[in-house]
Amino acid sequence: MVNILVGDVQMSHEGMITVTFGEKEIKFKKGTKDGKVLKYMAQMFPPQGVLVHAGEENLIVTSQEENLSQTEYIYQHSDVAISDTTGLDNKILQAVLRLQVVKKGELVTYGTVVIFNKKGMCLTANHCLEAARMRTKDKRLRVGDHQVEILARDADLDIACLQITDGDGIDFDFVSLGYMLFPHMKIHLISYPFMLKEEFMMSTPTVTHGQVASVLNPFQCSGDYTCFSNSSGGAVISNNKLIGIHTEATYLEEMKGKSNAEKLDFLERNRTHKSSHGIFVFASSIASFLVEHKLMSITRFPSSSSSHSFFSGHMVSSRQTRK
């Protein structure tokens, strides 16, 4: 459970860090794990989000703002979201895992994966693998506690399919692909966004909510769900079905009227902040990709008579160049 606290952060010359919550104070000494994290976050994101790992709890410390509840403030300003799992099947949360790579004996997170069948086949964003410089059978690649290998990837679609290789005899929790999609449809993003160092990341995924905003092209949709840095590969869920894979965040309002140079500068300065819009590759395009690579039976592909989406005429090969 994530506890929400609202307070002010002060750092003394002696290295003592004090967080004040009304009449209550919590002090952290310089050199302690919690003190280091709090100081780091206070310097990186003043005065927005500060994550403190204290014992078994994750405490989120923010500055207060008028007319906002603690929950509303976190959603609007913090780099940490509150995971509200209302209406979500618990098996879905179990099927969304970190994509990690073993580097110098430690696990480093590069994104999120979602298991989509009981045999342990997974989907993620291809650029997460590119960032990790992963090859097909690199033994350093991990999904949860399991080793995986890359079965197929498509740079244009920004999708990759992985297979858990050490799960013999295990029926994995998974999320089935869903092809129903229409404007303003309620959706959830489940992911493991960037959060300081590995030891300070939460053990459960972040869940944020929104709706389908628009179709961008025959492969992608935008949604107005909140997303955070490094949420790529996250599962976009509706009605407990996997309707897409999150591939990037957008800053629509902030981009209006800016030159290309200003846009690049804005994105660089805000690369660790949240966005109110995300882009995801939708399930029918993912199914095309899987069928093309012989990873899904054609009999499981949605028929043209199904009312699976409002863009059913665009179920085309993933090799077609995106426009």
CATH of span 90-164: 2.40.10.10
pLDDT at 90: 87
Backbone angles phi, psi at 240, to 5 degrees: 60, 25
pLDDT at 258: 56
Q: How far apart are alpha carbons 21 and 72 in whole angstroms?
A: 18
Listed by start position, the domains of the chain span: 2-77, 90-164, 186-314
pLDDT at 287: 93
pLDDT at 218: 82
Please, what is the end-to-end C-alpha distance for the chain in angstroms? 43
Note down pLDDT in tens along the chain; length 323 residues.
334 445 566 666 666 667 665 566 666 665 555 555 555 444 444 444 444 444 334 454 544 444 333 333 444 444 444 456 777 888 999 999 999 888 877 787 888 999 999 999 999 999 988 877 766 666 778 888 899 999 999 999 999 999 999 888 788 999 999 988 888 899 999 988 764 444 445 567 878 888 998 888 888 998 888 776 678 999 999 999 999 999 988 755 555 555 555 544 544 454 444 556 789 999 999 999 999 999 988 655 554 333 344 433 333 333 333 33
Domain 90-164 and domain 186-314 have a common topology: yes
- Model pTM? 0.66
Topology of 186-314 in CATH? Thrombin, subunit H (2.40.10)
Report yes or no: 77 and 65 within 8 Å, Cβ to Cβ.
Answer: yes
pLDDT at 293: 94
Element at 100 (helix H, strand E): strand 96-103
Q: How far apart are alpha carbons 180 and 188 in whole angstroms?
A: 14
